[in-house]
Amino acid sequence: MRILYVCSELYPFLKTGGLADVSAGLPPALKAAGCDVRLLLPAFPALAHPALTQRWVAALPGGPTPWGTAAPALPAVEIALASLPDLDVAVYLLRAPTLYDRPGNPYLDADGKDWGDNAQRFAALGWAGATLGQGLDPDWVPDVVHCHDWHAGLVPAYLRAFADAGQPTPATVFSIHNLAYQGLFPRGVFHQLGLPEHFFGIDGLEFFDQVSFMKAGIQFAERITTVSPTYAREILSEPQGCGLDGLLRERAHRVSGILNGVDPLVWDPSGDALLPMTYDADSLQNKAVAKRALQLAYGLEPRADALVFGVVSRLTTQKGLHLLPQVLDELVQRGGQLALLGQGSACLEEALVAATRQYPGQVGVRIGYDETTAHRVVAGSDVILVPSEFEPCGLTQLYGLRYGTLPLVRRVGGLADTVVDCTPENLQAGTATGFVFEHLSAHDLRNALQRAFDLSQRPGDWRAVQCTGMALRFDWATAAQNYLALYCLLRPCALTEIGK
């Protein structure tokens, strides 16, 4: 079975969030399961420069479409088949210097604002995915095109237009990683996309008189997935549906949730070269070395008895981190410390940096992101905080479980699916893995913090919870089998190709 995986980020080359980790983990796992997988990404500098080889495949077609409109209004765009270091999956790179050859963030300019031509940049990605699905590369035609987030949302729309024009098309799967980011553009953009005129409307791309690339994927894909079963249910309701819950309820029979995985080659404390000392469940005493190193790196008092709370996150209200300044005083008074790595809201950044002056030696903050520090925060902390307002899946809590760093999370989305609360009953049953609270409030967060402090006074119970979490395996092989089952539902005729 041939799978074209369309996305905009790929770890370790380009990463702004968890999507990059998924793109690095799922395609190789699908290949290991017997699929012939290729990725399609824009040729951002971070992807194009390290490419070991690039072979020209085709130019994106222009001119009239089979449904009578002109093709999308794009500059010259070509597709190359590339190989990237240490990636055992071929990659199509969408080469268009005027669209993609820009430094820094793939979506935002130096001022943190959306690039003004993002609609055109990601329409090109959608058109490329659809035309590859139609045989633009005659040597490799996919059975399934799997599209990820709004950046690839136009792929199913273009393929539906090809199908409506009587042409054979591959199956389409659209994965929602975060419904809050929808790829919204002014109504006038629609006429540049080359889609049939009737695709702009309530049953198409129109979203409150705007064009929504996210809605395009939801409306036209054959199947829709999210990255956890709970989030798949949550987005069917108004609070989490971000205005698209009505459409999602209409298509609920085509919506499913599949949990993300963790790449054991990247996230494993027993072999993590980024740590000062490796450890596993049988050598948890070595975790104290990571803790002391973290305390020293963050300017925290190197107290072995301090309960260190770690944060690795975007600093946004979605992540619930606006609650953190409200509970810091009590956290510190109880003998806790905070080590935070993240960036985002300017006001939240300022409040957290101010906390380092208010609580010297007890609160450490680094604004920004780098992979080495992320690993060291996860490994060196005792508790990893993920108090999200909503969380489609979350990877940070999965890393915490793997590293014996107990997650403290809100019961929402993938957090609810992956962390078992340390209630007396769950502790007795040996299933507890962290601390879970219900309501997005400082009061509930404080109560969860208190339970973490209380458990830390019972070292035997604490270690038992660590070992339970470290024994769990949220792996990409399992996720790949679930996706493969979905692909085979859509294209059962391609099932015979598996394993050839």
Would residue 42 count as lying in a domain? yes
Q: d(Cα 219, Cα 408) in Å, to the nearest integer?
A: 36
Q: Are residues 297 and 155 in the same domain?
A: no
Would residue 266 count as lying in a domain? no
| In contact, 211 and 190? CB cutoff 8 Å | yes
Would residue 139 count as lying in a domain? yes
Q: Are residues 160 and 197 in the same domain?
A: yes
Q: Are residues 338 and 367 in the same domain?
A: yes
Q: Are residues 209 and 134 in the same domain?
A: yes
Q: Token digits for 344?
A: 């985002």
| In contact, 334 and 446? CB cutoff 8 Å | no
Q: Are residues 229 and 291 in the same domain?
A: no
Q: Are residues 345 and 218 in the same domain?
A: no
Does 498 have pLDDT greater than 50?
A: no
Q: Are residues 467 and 481 in the same domain?
A: no
pLDDT digits (tens, 9 = 90+) for 209-219: 999 999 999 99
pLDDT at 492: 82
How many other β-carbons are positioned within 10 Å of the β-carbon of residue 94? 26
Q: Are residues 493 and 408 in the same domain?
A: no
Q: Token digits for 405?
A: 């760093």
> Which residue type, as a one-letter code, is found at position 14?
L
Q: d(Cα 244, Cα 235) in Å, to the nearest integer?
A: 8
Would residue 78 count as lying in a domain? yes
Over pLDDT 90: what percentage of the chain? 93
Q: Are residues 217 and 287 in the same domain?
A: no
pLDDT at 331: 97
> Which residue type, as a one-letter code, is found at position 95?
R
How many other β-carbons are positioned within 10 Å of the β-carbon of residue 7? 25
pLDDT at 457: 97
Q: Are residues 384 and 455 in the same domain?
A: yes
Q: d(Cα 224, Cα 172) in Å, to the nearest integer?
A: 9
Would residue 274 count as lying in a domain? no
Domain ranges, residue 441 = 281-471
Does 120 have pLDDT greater than 50?
A: yes
pLDDT at 494: 60
Does 350 have pLDDT greater than 90?
A: yes
Would residue 57 count as lying in a domain? yes
Does 493 have pLDDT greater than 80?
A: no
pLDDT digits (tens, 9 = 90+) for 122-156: 999 999 999 999 999 999 999 999 999 999 999 99
Q: Are residues 220 and 357 in the same domain?
A: no
pLDDT at 239: 86
Would residue 270 count as lying in a domain? no
Does 499 have pLDDT greater than 50?
A: no
Domain holding 236: CATH number?
Answer: 3.40.50.2000
Would residue 267 count as lying in a domain? no
Counting the structural domains of the chain, the total is: 2
pLDDT digits (tens, 9 = 90+) for 462-481: 999 999 999 999 999 999 99
pLDDT at 329: 96
Q: Are residues 164 and 74 in the same domain?
A: yes
pLDDT at 295: 98
| pLDDT, average across residues 16-39 | 94
**Position 500 confidence tier, pLDDT thresholds 50, 70, 90:** very low
